[in-house]
Structure 1
Amino acid sequence: MANLPVFLFAEPTTALEPNPPLTDLTNVSVDELILALNHARTRERALHLLSQNRSMFDNLAVLIWHSFGTMFTLLKEIMDVYHMLSKPDLTEKDSTRVCNALALLQCVASHPETRVPFMKAKIPLYLYPFLNTTIKEKPHEYLRLTSLGVIGALVKVDDKEVIYFLLKTEIVPYCLRCMDVGKGLSKTVATFIVQKILMNEEGLRYCCIIADRFFAITHALETMMERLSEEPSQRLLKHIFRCYLMLSESPRACLGLGRLLPRMLNDSAFTDLLHDDPTVMSSFKQLLRKVHRDDGNKQGNPKTG
């Protein structure tokens, strides 16, 4: 994993503040809630209220980003649980508190004014440890899913700079790990992120230029397909199909897909999941036609992608 940016030196001091922190935060303004994050006594409650009501504040992301010490406080909340990530005894209370901080980071990642500065400050790197854990307990899963939500917010808007940043910081292996160990929603968001990367020309080249990388991605997709027979998910299946379809845009990858495409793609149990979505069914049929046609036409004339 890339090195974390080293710019966190000290917690904003509150020792000289003349006014004590508010203790009842139920009816205070968003500015007061953000200020309450600087106090240990009120931080947990402020995190909860800001996270719970973040959709009500249009400028919350801008206030969080520009207010003194707030990003430091959120990152400190995140880093404080790093030492517990390899242990199964992480509590739901600790996980929920960090997830509230992550939800506020997602707010910053989603806002057009703060998205690029958020990325250039390399804030997403602080989330990667949560994507790297293999423990499947609920507290770890909550952290995994909420962290994926932050990355998902970055890729929702088509921005080459975001994709280049994620490729440079090796997000794909982390997504593949989440596709393997995560629950249904984590698998879905991780697959969506990979799909958005594949939709970018440089992202597609990155995923297909090295055979081991291509095989790792197709193996993750196939494994999820196998597990879908036990827990069907139309939404996840859509993203899996779209990943395959984007991979088929690479001539080199398309040759491999003709041999690797899971037999289950021809299984009515999966196609039945798509009957309610004509667009995805059309993509599914297009994928089968493209892969089988290209496999037949290019067997004797392989190209590089």
Structure 2
Amino acid sequence: MLNGGRFGMEKTGQIQGSAVGGPAVGQNPNPPAGPQPQSQSSSVQNGNVDREQIYNWILELGNPETREMALLELSKKREAVPDLAPMLWHSFGTIAALLQEITSIYPLLIPPTLTGAQSNRACNVLALFQCLASHNETRGMFLQAHFPLYLYPFLHTTSRVRPFEYLRLTSLGVIGALVKSDEQEVINFLLTTEIIPVCLRIMESGSELSKTVATFILQKILLDDIGLSYICQTYERFSHVAMILGKMVLSLAKVPCARLLKHVIRCYLRLSDNPRARDALRLCLPDQLKDDSFGPQIRDEHTKVWLITLLKNLEPAIGGPVGEQRVAPNALN
């Protein structure tokens, strides 16, 4: 478990754009959920890093009186310090302090009393967690210590107010950083947790940014052979995924979002690689993906190719009634 204090994710309320395949996901569309402490640093500017100051901020994480400012500064500078993750992980008491910050938020989730300032502070911790999840040296230890499980209480929240939305979005960013590595160990770990139903719920009812990151996570799980096999193993798992993807297509037909549509189509295409799922998709693929409803929205060449390939994969059974919104139970039993 916690090795003396060695452990350790992303900027307040921000998800790295590359984590979901597009730079537009890089920043919150709204101002911060609450007031941040005034930054006092001028030591890390224009790419110049004062490593002594970085070490001092890490040490200040261990002091409750200086922790908030240290969290803010480190979360802002994490991209300028490539080895920040190992520095955090191997420094005495640091990860214990970060976990203390995370668990102190739990009582504020139910009933939902989280303030903007509290959300921002937690998101700064999550920013450092994402740093750990992204780094090759710390990712494996991050998983072995079951750190993603500390985020699930945040992902289970349903309040739509800004502090909770930022908390969910930044937590999703940590999982997104993990799956972006394309490592089998990551997928194996996530499949032992409730990440798929959690992502599906957010895909159905979250904000556009949260839906995008959650769909990206599902996509990365599906792109793994074990992940695809897991989801297509039973009718119940496949039908839940197909139902949510179908709802998203209907919603995107009314409120377009090209980035989100791209991930939805990629999920459908990957599902069509499984023979039993392909048979079921021939019955339940939404009409909007067959009748060129999204033609004007799809400008990305990859997305165009994915949609054409998807329809080609389903071609043999297209001929009867199309777009029937049901899944044949026997197809995946």
Q: What TM-score bracket applies, with the shorter chain setting the length?
A: 0.7 to 0.9
Separation of aligned partners in 2, 1:52 and 1:139:
19
SS in 2 for 1:141: helix
Q: Which residues in structure 2 correspond to 1:6-21 (within 5 Å)?
A: none
Residue number in structure 1 paired with 2:154: 130
Is 1:284 the counterpart of 2:307 in the alignment? yes
Residue number in structure 1 paired with 2:244: 220
Alpha carbons of structure 1 residues 52 and 24: separation in structure 2 relative to 1, 3 Å:
closer
Is 1:252 the counterpart of 2:315 in the alignment? no
Alpha carbons of structure 1 residues 303 and 89: separation in structure 2 relative to 1, 3 Å:
closer
Verify the 8 A CA contact 2:212 2:263 in the aligned structure 1. yes
Residue number in structure 2 paired with 1:50: 74
Deviations 1:81-133 (A, max 9, x none): 11111334311111110000001000000001001111111001000111111
Deviation at 1:295, TM superposition (A): 6.1
Is 1:186 the counterpart of 2:210 in the alignment? yes
Q: Which runs of 5+ in 2 are unaligned?
A: 6-37, 44-51, 320-329
Is 1:60 the counterpart of 2:84 in the alignment? yes
Separation of aligned partners in 1, 2:332 and 2:163:
44
Instruction: Name the stretch that deviates more: 243-252 or 277-286.
Output: 277-286
Separation of aligned partners in 1, 2:116 and 2:303:
37
Q: Which residues in structure 2 correspond to 1:14-53 (within 5 Å)?
A: 26=41, 27=43, 29-53=53-77
Verify the 8 A CA contact 1:251 1:304 in the aligned structure 2. no
Q: Which residues in structure 2 correspond to 1:92-111 (within 5 Å)?
A: 92-111=116-135
Deviation at 1:290, TM superposition (A): 0.8
Verify the 8 A CA contact 1:254 1:294 in the aligned structure 2. no
2:297 pairs with 270, 273, 283, which one? 273
SS in 2 for 1:209: coil
Verify the 8 A CA contact 2:172 2:210 in the aligned structure 1. yes
Q: Which residues in structure 2 correspond to 1:166-185 (within 5 Å)?
A: 166-185=190-209
Deviation at 1:222, TM superposition (A): 1.4
Separation of aligned partners in 2, 1:231 and 1:122:
37
SS in 1 for 2:136: coil
2:264 pairs with 230, 240, 262, which one? 240
Separation of aligned partners in 1, 2:257 and 2:129:
28
Residue number in structure 2 paired with 1:16: none
Verify the 8 A CA contact 1:154 1:162 in the aligned structure 2. yes
Separation of aligned partners in 1, 2:274 and 2:293:
28
Q: Which residues in structure 2 correspond to 1:155-174 (within 5 Å)?
A: 155-174=179-198
Separation of aligned partners in 2, 1:179 and 1:8:
36
Residue number in structure 1 paired with 2:166: 142
Residue number in structure 2 paired with 1:13: none
Deviations 1:183-237 (A, max 9, x none): 1111011101111111111100110111111111111111222222343111110
Q: Which runs of 5+ in 1 are unaligned?
A: 11-22, 297-301
User: Which amino acid counterpart does residue 278 of structure 1 have in structure 2?
Assistant: E
Deviation at 1:53, TM superposition (A): 1.4
Verify the 8 A CA contact 2:280 2:332 in the aligned structure 1. no
Deviation at 1:294, TM superposition (A): 5.2
Alpha carbons of structure 1 residues 262 and 24: separation in structure 2 relative to 1, 3 Å:
closer
Is 1:120 the counterpart of 2:152 in the alignment? no
Q: Which one scores higher on RCO, CA 8 angstroms, separation ≥ 6?
A: 2
Number of corresponding residues: 283
Verify the 8 A CA contact 1:144 1:178 in the aligned structure 2. no
Task: Using structure 1 for the length normalisation, give the TM-score.
Answer: 0.87
Q: Percent identity?
A: 48
Residue number in structure 1 paired with 2:178: 154
Separation of aligned partners in 1, 2:178 and 2:277:
26
CA RMSD of aligned residues (A): 2.3
Is 1:211 the counterpart of 2:235 in the alignment? yes
Deviations 1:155-188 (A, max 9, x none): 1111111100000112111111211221111101
Task: Using structure 2 for the length normalisation, give the TM-score.
Answer: 0.80
Verify the 8 A CA contact 2:253 2:288 in the aligned structure 1. no
Separation of aligned partners in 2, 1:56 and 1:8:
27
